[in-house]
Structure 1
Amino acid sequence: MKYDFIICHYGEIALKGKNRKFFEEKLIENLKRALKGQSPFGDSPRVQRISGRILVELPARIGYAEGVAGGSEKAKRDKIKEVLRNVFGIVYFSFAVSCEQEIEAIKKKAVEILQNKTVTNRCDRIKLLQLSEKQRLHFKTFKVETQRSKKDFPLSSQEINEKVGKYVLKRLAPYRTEGSGARVDLTNPDITCFIEIVENYAFLYLEKIPGPGGLPVNVSGKAISLLSGGIDSPVAAFYGMRRGVKIIFLHFYTQTQNSIDKTKKIVRILNKYQFSSKLYLVPFLNIQKEIFQKTNPEYGCISCRRFMFRIAEILAEKEKAEALITGENIGQVASQTLANIRATEEATNLPVLRPLIGMDKKDIIDKAKEIGTFDISILAEEFYCHGFLAKHPETKAN
């Protein structure tokens, strides 16, 4: 038996009222883009909305055998998991099997998928009594949990839980060995058999795989993200994407190719969250020299950032972006005191979004590691103000 669908559940999209359809359609579009070209979907993934869920059809059904015999099937599932974990808007998703909307069919299907958990290194349906003790049931307790959005189904969710649970207990009873075997635990079960009754389908699955949450990319407009090459700015861009913002990347470089190469690598990593990205590279050395020749050295870094904001605003007008995004964090460096943040922000008419403003450095580093940008960000980097930085930069600019 094989999985034939992936069910994707979203969160706050359901609260969008009259705009909900727009958000759902954007999530479907993003799912199709993410899965296109991936095995087994080919160039035309079949994705649809159904009863407050997004349903992805598996054209070549994927088995759920585990261990050695199920290795290739597991590899396929793992690849799909990796892709879906990067699609913003998904709260969780599940590989599911479908069956007729009849209680007898649902009961039999529940036993089939639970029996799969009894086998570790083979996928053939031999009798479990012939297996060694270590190969018998890999769970001792279970429960059945039903969601029934189709209200004309003749049984309530609780009645389905009870009937399926009793049937599972009866069918798995022969596999009990001294103290082992399945029993019901509604509080803290080893495994849960989830059942969903929706429209013309009945779905069953055993696992809820966390997604990234947030909103689908490209539902909240565009923003220019200033990438410094450090740890913070890629994380800020990530959080912007997570709230549905399409990110245009902007990097100011001075004189080494290293800074450009680092930034390109970071953008390639972040691109998996929004499928296509633009990166603008702006030479900044001559502007930097002029600033430090003609201004008080204590104000040098603040003046640099004001120029960057002005250039970013010009780019935003070209790209029809409505905001800037930075990795600024209160008190982290001299330019990021409240007074200096205000002084730099006055250089632009656009709102400046700072997703990291209240985060601890450790939390930022942890997120950078999670999204895969940390190892690149900590490579030897080029500092904008290198060679010009005052010994005591101004922290209370006006």
Structure 2
Amino acid sequence: MKLLIRPAPEVAIKSKPVRRQQMRHLRQNIRKLLARLDPEIRVEGSWDRVDVEVPDGRGLSGPALELLLRIPGISTIQEIGAFPFVSLEDVAEKAVEAFADRLAGKTFAVRARRHGEHSFRSIDLERTVGAALMQASGASGVDLKSPQVEVRIEVQDDQFHIAHRKHRGLGGYPLGSVENVLTLISGGYDSSVAAYLMMRRGLRNHFLFFNLGGTAHEVGVRQVVHYLWDRYGASHSAKFISVPFEGVVAE
């Protein structure tokens, strides 16, 4: 399975040098976390996208997608079907297999792009695929301005890609692309949410805990911190600093 990852708008609007730096952080974070699932997962990209290729037949697609949905800095994740290009009719057949069940009673539009030399135009591809989908899907019609479903196809030389489901990412900035911070954590709701929001803004958190309630309290706070780090910050190491404060409370 192939996944097309787009950065969050906060990253996309930056100047070229800043965007290049943040995209590098994003690729590194994705590569580091996906390597835990399988070191053969490929991560590549450019200034406005990250391409992830997950080996088929290993049960990695679901876990990889779930992990990517928790990485700060990602706007959307699009599942991509990749096929060798044979003919326009073959592209249409693959599009029917992917979208026919999702178009019943809905309007749709086919958006095609090409890269390379081909004997057909993009509009020829759009018409061929659109006609096949109208015949096979029971769609209510074609709406080029505001369709309920968009069928996106991209032809690159002798390959073509069909965009499947799109998932919304966490947004924000890539973790580590901004400064490190020391977060005062109590284990309660407010400090935990604040830590999450800072991670989402690209801040690498280290955690400071003033222990007011003994060992049991500290164990509970460590569990909260580990949950936050494991879900949203595991691309970077984090420190947990515990300050014994029971004596102060006793006074």
TM class, shorter-chain normalised? Answer: 0.7 to 0.9
1:89 aligned onto 2:73: yes
1:195-206 matched pairs, under 5 angstroms:
195-197=153-155, 202-206=160-164
Greater strand proportion:
2
Deviation at 1:80, TM superposition (A): 2.6
Equivalent-residue separation in structure 1 for 2:112 and 2:233 (angstroms): 32
**C-alpha offsets along residues 309-367 of structure 1, whole Å, 9 cap, x if unaligned?**
xxxxxxxxxxxxxxxxxxxxxxxxxxxxxxxxxxxxxxxxxxxxxxxxxxxxxxxxxxx
- Cα 1:20/1:225, change in 2 over 3 Å: same
1:167 counterpart letter in structure 2: A
2:214 counterpart letter in structure 1: T
Deviation at 1:107, TM superposition (A): 2.5
8 A contact 2:110–2:129 mirrored in 1: no
**C-alpha offsets along residues 3-24 of structure 1, whole Å, 9 cap, x if unaligned?**
x311111133222222222111
**C-alpha offsets along residues 245-285 of structure 1, whole Å, 9 cap, x if unaligned?**
10001110024222111111111111121113221111113
Equivalent-residue separation in structure 2 for 1:98 and 1:35 (angstroms): 20
Equivalent-residue separation in structure 1 for 2:177 and 2:157 (angstroms): 28
- Cα 1:55/1:147, change in 2 over 3 Å: farther
Name the SS of the counterpart of 1:215 in structure 2: coil
Deviation at 1:288, TM superposition (A): 4.5
1:143 aligned onto 2:108: yes
Equivalent-residue separation in structure 2 for 1:51 and 1:169 (angstroms): 36
1:22 counterpart letter in structure 2: Q
Number of residues of Structure 1 aligned to a counterpart in Structure 2:
242
Please provide the CA RMSD for this pair: 2.9
1:47 aligned onto 2:43: yes
Residue of structure 2 in register with 1:209 after alignment: 167
- Cα 1:183/1:231, change in 2 over 3 Å: same
- Structure 2's unaligned 5+ residue stretches are none
Residue of structure 2 in register with 1:262 after alignment: 220
Residue of structure 2 in register with 1:79 after alignment: 63
- Structure 1's unaligned 5+ residue stretches are 63-72, 118-136, 174-180, 291-398
Name the SS of the counterpart of 2:36 in structure 1: coil
The TM-score, its normalising length taken from structure 1, stands at 0.54
Deviation at 1:28, TM superposition (A): 0.9
Candidates 7, 11, 19, aligned match of 1:10: 7
Name the SS of the counterpart of 1:37 in structure 2: helix
8 A contact 1:165–1:184 mirrored in 2: no
Candidates 129, 139, 144, aligned match of 1:164: 129
Larger RCO (alpha carbons 8 Å, 6+ apart): 2
Residue of structure 2 in register with 1:58 after alignment: 54
1:234 aligned onto 2:230: no
- Identical aligned residues as a percent: 24
1:373-388 matched pairs, under 5 angstroms:
none
- Cα 1:149/1:267, change in 2 over 3 Å: farther
